[in-house]
Structure 1
Amino acid sequence: MHLLLTLAMIAGAPAPAEPAPTPSESYAVYDRITHRVTGKDVHKPIRSASLVKILIAIEQLETRGNDPRIEPMLRSSDDNAASELWVENGWEQLVVRTADRIGLEDTRPPENRGMWGYTAVSAYDVVKTYRYVLEKAKPSVRRTIMGHLQRATKCASDGFDQSFGLPSATWKPAFKQGWSGFGDPEKPCVDRPRPRIQWDLDLKSPAMHTSGTCLFSIVAVLTLHPQGTTYKQAAKRVTRVTEEVTKHRC
């Protein structure tokens, strides 16, 4: 009798709560003087969000020439410009070609060819992409890409403030940011933000990345956050991590 009662009580007891998901980060820092890469989980695959726009720019510039849409795509992270160039440059094959040309180890095209933000990258590959632009690309390609990243705007075209991470933690960086899964901005950074394209929305594990150059370093900080994390909370965390990994470097 007591055994049956005990079993009934166990069966009716609520299941133990699952532990809350915790944020995660991976990062890589390349020292252009010592030529060393340091970091954490440097080869961990993570969806690129808007960091793939650097690959889009490389492919466009190296195979088809300059295009006026590259400027808003890189400076204000314009999704419409990126989507048009993505399609015109071969959809997911753009990633295959650029990854092969640059020698990226962890970069893979998205399973759904229309969702360019789901391209898989790693902190190591993001740093290697910047190295390619700075060290191997033609001068015209390097000047165009780095020139736009040096003039990146505070406000992105979709209304988000993209001054987190490197621009908040370092001095005069050239930078490209990425974010995904935060819905629409609560307080748009511009008066009339453009609507976000459908495939840039991700309701799982909001992502926020910062990447670029500062002084003699190339930096990539890629982060994922629990659902429900606000853009402001994620931005503060990315900036804090960036401050830690760039300390005494930039």
Structure 2
Amino acid sequence: MRRRLLATTLALLLLGGAMGSAAADAPAGRPASVDAASVQVPAGVTAGVAVFDRQTGTFTEQLNAAATFRSASVVKLLLALDYLWNRGPDYTVPAADRAWLEPMLRSSNDTAANTYWSNNGGSAIITRMVSRLGLRDTAPPPSGYPGYWGYTALSARDTVTIYRYLLDSAPGAVRDVVMGNLRQSTRCASDGFDQHFGIAGAFEKPWAVKQGWAGSSYEKGTCGSARTASATGTASPAAAADVDLTRPALHSTGTVGAGDRSIVAVFTLHPVGTSYGKAYTDIGRLTRSLNVPGATRPAGWWYGTWSDHVNVRPNPSTADAALTQLPAGVEVLVGCQARGQLVQVPPYSNDWWAYLPQYGGWISNIYITSPDNKMPDVKDC
């Protein structure tokens, strides 16, 4: 018999594969109708959401769209645009600048952002971009935190404005530099976190994403060695009256669909102490509930996992080196399952493995939240 998880873990992850649907009444892991979609915010989560359909010129989703959140790394969009401002239509980024601009946008490199922030005026960057783009809710970090670029206040609707400028008004060279790098977002960020949550997990490519995360409970990287929270982390509740700097933040922004049809901005705050895997799962469920025109939803079954940093392997065997590690307790999309090497976590054992198409690898079913060794609704590979 397969081991059963602790009741608290099962309650946290709910019904495994049944939670994989984009809408509550849709088959697990299958595309769901978006005709009557409404934002589904997990319990305990505070969210600001906006989805803009560029084809019709209308919003398909708005929830607390004007509410401000600490931006975390989403502000790197403004750092890049400020650097590229007033460049000619044939501008080419010099190699020396490309060496930091590309990792800042693709893998959310903080060192590059720190350098840009200090060299180009700090908070003045935000003030300039607010004026240039006509942003309504964006503001520099609060007084007393001038070097904390991640404390910049940003809303979902202002984020839509930023992407609309990039796609519809920016010089072609600027658009190509920024969007081209966002299309090449790396799964593993520079600080070791798995950054393909939200948009990147909810929809098939084509997409382009700029993510953000900040919180003292996100204490370890999940794609590499242990890391600590950066300057975008936590502060005293009294530091800013308008922007919450204490609760862990996880944001997913970008475009989805052919021709960047939809602009999606999802900002979330989670209860203090929330693990990265739990926040990752919650923003995924929220994002999958959205009406996003032009989006293609991945086929498969969503299941919860347990244990810390489960290895994803290229084959259903522990003999192969890990491709990456999962955020602890995260929900994953399972494409199919097959028998492989027997894995033992006494007193339990299991020789079934789950293929995770979004990771291009396998994990043992022993780490899947399911009552049996073989998941009942998942097809064989």
TM band (smaller chain): 0.7 to 0.9
Deviation at 1:55, TM superposition (A): 0.2
Deviation at 1:185, TM superposition (A): 4.4
Q: Deviations 1:41-96 (Å, cap 9, x if unpaired)?
A: 11001110000000000001115773221100000000000010111111000001
Q: Deviations 1:110-140 (Å, cap 9, x if unpaired)?
A: 0221010000010000111001111111111
Q: 1:180 aligns with which of 182, 207, 214?
A: 214
Unmatched runs of 5 consecutive residues or more in structure 1: 1-20
- Larger RCO (CA within 8 A; separation ≥ 6): 1
Q: Deviations 1:1-59 (Å, cap 9, x if unpaired)?
A: xxxxxxxxxxxxxxxxxxxx922111000100110123101100111000000000000
State yes or no: 1:169 paired with 2:169. no
State yes or no: 1:143 paired with 2:184. no
Q: Secondary structure at the match of 1:219?
A: strand
State yes or no: 1:26 paired with 2:48. yes
How many residues matched?
228
Higher helix share: 1
Is the 1:159–1:185 contact (alpha carbons within 8 Å) kept by the matching residues of 2? no
Compute the RMSD of aligned alpha carbons: 1.8
Deviation at 1:201, TM superposition (A): 1.9
Is the 1:206–1:224 contact (alpha carbons within 8 Å) kept by the matching residues of 2? yes
Is the 1:170–1:246 contact (alpha carbons within 8 Å) kept by the matching residues of 2? no
Deviation at 1:249, TM superposition (A): 4.2
Q: Secondary structure at the match of 1:211?
A: strand
Q: 1:90 aligns with which of 87, 111, 121?
A: 121
Alpha-carbon distance in structure 2 between the residues aligned to 1:231 and 1:194: 13
Is the 1:205–1:227 contact (alpha carbons within 8 Å) kept by the matching residues of 2? yes
Q: 1:210 aligns with which of 235, 244, 252?
A: 252
Q: 1:245 aligns with which of 290, 306, 312?
A: 290
Q: Secondary structure at the match of 1:152?
A: coil
Deviation at 1:187, TM superposition (A): 5.1
Deviation at 1:194, TM superposition (A): 6.9
Alpha carbons of 1:97 and 1:232: their partners in 2 closer, same or farther (altered >3 Å)? same
Q: 1:128 aligns with which of 151, 155, 161?
A: 161
Deviation at 1:190, TM superposition (A): 2.5
Alpha-carbon distance in structure 2 between the residues aligned to 1:140 and 1:187: 34
Alpha-carbon distance in structure 1 between the residues aligned to 2:132 and 2:218: 35
Is the 1:27–1:221 contact (alpha carbons within 8 Å) kept by the matching residues of 2? yes
Q: What TM-score, normalized to structure 2? A: 0.57
Alpha-carbon distance in structure 1 between the residues aligned to 2:268 and 2:227: 25
Unmatched runs of 5 consecutive residues or more in structure 2: 1-42, 236-245, 296-381
Deviation at 1:196, TM superposition (A): 5.0
Is the 2:45–2:270 contact (alpha carbons within 8 Å) kept by the matching residues of 1? yes
Alpha carbons of 1:32 and 1:84: their partners in 2 closer, same or farther (altered >3 Å)? same
Deviation at 1:186, TM superposition (A): 3.4
Who is 2:82 aligned against?
59
Q: Which amino acid aligns with 2:164?
A: R
Q: What TM-score, normalized to structure 1? A: 0.86
Q: 1:200 aligns with which of 232, 246, 249?
A: 232
Is the 2:187–2:194 contact (alpha carbons within 8 Å) kept by the matching residues of 1? yes
Q: Secondary structure at the match of 1:141?
A: helix
Higher strand share: 2
